[in-house]
């Protein structure tokens, strides 16, 4: 009888562990907020897995930036954001991401809507697969240098290196200055340099620090993400799609945005 009960228990646990778990939007707040001080040590030079910052990743109002240069003021004069201190009425927003589904680009992807993402490590690359936009980035780890005077790309050019056994540092240049930095319409130039630091504190906790240096647009470097905590999701976590579809955006504008215009 004891043996039978033991097997029953084994099967029950196996059924729970092996249960299919599809289409997850993110970890519950209880998992995001749970203390992780008793987690196992961080594996060496390994940040693979699915990571979720919870609400901290969204940063809807945008980040307080370093002061703009005159170039940035001119660049942003035509930006009509939906959030932040310069927010306009919904019908007047011209954010290229939310109104016509242009790519969010980099670094907006780590400045705003940093939803769950998966890190994959290969012998010569680190790949980051983002739930938001269902896009990916390639970070070269084969020792190559960043290109000189590259053509701009929506997601730039990235190289990465291990600073120590638990800290992976990514440097990115060559971004496309058509993209905004965030929902509040902060601009950037194609001279922008971005440093991301992924520090794995322990098995379950990753901290992300992002520093921007764009002397053409900002009077000094600044750090909009400073040790933002990310929680490791279970291995069977299946990410939802979160894709900007022009068809859906047009339908939303027709039904909501264009009809919500108001008397000024």
Residues 166-185 that bind other proteins (CB under 8 A): 183
Closest CA to 116 of 199, 58, 159, 196: 58
- Considering the rule CB under 8 A, would residue 240 count as an interface residue with other proteins? yes
Round to whole Å and give the CA distance between 145 and 158: 9
- Considering the rule CB under 8 A, would residue 24 count as an interface residue with other proteins? yes
The conformation of residue 58, written as its DSSP 8-state character, comes to T
By beta-carbon proximity to other proteins, the closer residue of 146 and 244 is 244
By beta-carbon proximity to other proteins, the closer residue of 56 and 138 is 56
For every residue of 7-24, DSSP letters joined together read HHHHHHHHHHHT-----B
The residue within the footprint of other proteins, chosen from 9, 11, 13, 21 (CB under 8 A), is 21
Stretch that binds other proteins, among 64-72, 95-103, 208-216, 221-229 (CB under 8 A): 95-103
Question: Do residues 32 and 231 make contact, with C-beta atoms less than 8 angstroms apart?
Answer: yes
Q: Using CB under 8 A, count the residues that bind other proteins.
A: 45
The residue within the footprint of other proteins, chosen from 6, 9, 48, 89 (CB under 8 A), is 89
- Considering the rule CB under 8 A, would residue 163 count as an interface residue with other proteins? no
By beta-carbon proximity to other proteins, the closer residue of 93 and 139 is 93
By beta-carbon proximity to other proteins, the closer residue of 169 and 242 is 242
> Token pair 């009425």 is at which residue?
89
- Considering the rule CB under 8 A, would residue 98 count as an interface residue with other proteins? yes
Question: Do residues 81 and 183 make contact, with C-beta atoms less than 8 angstroms apart?
Answer: yes
Longest dimension (CA), the chain: 80
Alpha-carbon radius of gyration of the chain: 21
Smallest separation (angstroms) from other proteins to the CB of 84: 8
Smallest separation (angstroms) from other proteins to the CB of 86: 10
The residue within the footprint of other proteins, chosen from 14, 29, 44, 227 (CB under 8 A), is 29
Question: Do residues 180 and 59 make contact, with C-beta atoms less than 8 angstroms apart?
Answer: no
Smallest separation (angstroms) from other proteins to the CB of 88: 6
Of the CA atoms within 13 Å of residue 82, those in its CB half-sphere come to 14
3-state secondary structure of 253: helix
Q: Which residues contact 259 (CB under 8 A, 6 or more apart)?
A: none
- Considering the rule CB under 8 A, would residue 15 count as an interface residue with other proteins? no
Round to whole Å and give the CA distance between 51 and 26: 9
The residue ranges that bind other proteins (CB under 8 A) are 20-26, 28-30, 55, 58, 60-61, 82-84, 87-91, 93, 95, 97-98, 115, 131, 183, 240, 242-245, 248-249, 251-252, 255-256, 259-263
């Amino acid at each position: 009888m004891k043996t039978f009960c033991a097997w029953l228990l084994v099967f029950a646990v196996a059924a729970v562990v092996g249960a299919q778990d599809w289409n997850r939007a993110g970890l519950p707040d209880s998992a995001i907020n749970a203390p992780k001080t008793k987690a196992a040590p961080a594996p060496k030079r390994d940040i693979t897995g699915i990571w979720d910052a919870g609400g901290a990743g969204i940063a809807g109002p945008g980040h307080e930036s370093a002061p703009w240069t005159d170039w940035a003021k001119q660049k942003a004069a035509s930006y009509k954001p939906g959030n932040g201190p310069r927010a306009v009425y919904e019908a007047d927003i011209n954010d290229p991401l939310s109104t016509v589904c242009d790519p969010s680009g980099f670094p907006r992807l780590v400045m705003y809507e940093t939803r769950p993402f998966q890190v994959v490590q290969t012998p010569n690359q680190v790949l980051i697969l983002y739930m938001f936009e269902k896009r990916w980035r390639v970070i070269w780890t084969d020792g190559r240098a960043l290109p000189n005077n590259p053509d701009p790309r929506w997601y730039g050019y990235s190289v990465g290196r291990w600073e120590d056994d638990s800290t992976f540092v990514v440097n990115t240049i060559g971004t496309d200055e058509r993209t905004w930095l965030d929902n509040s319409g902060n601009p950037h130039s194609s001279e922008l340099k971005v440093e991301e630091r992924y520090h794995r504190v322990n098995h379950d906790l990753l901290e992300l620090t992002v520093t921007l240096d764009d002397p053409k647009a900002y009077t000094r470097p600044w750090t909009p993400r400073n040790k933002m905590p990310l929680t490791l999701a279970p291995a069977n976590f299946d990410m939802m799609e979160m894709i900007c579809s022009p068809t859906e955006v047009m339908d939303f504008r027709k039904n909501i945005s264009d009809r919500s215009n108001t008397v000024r």
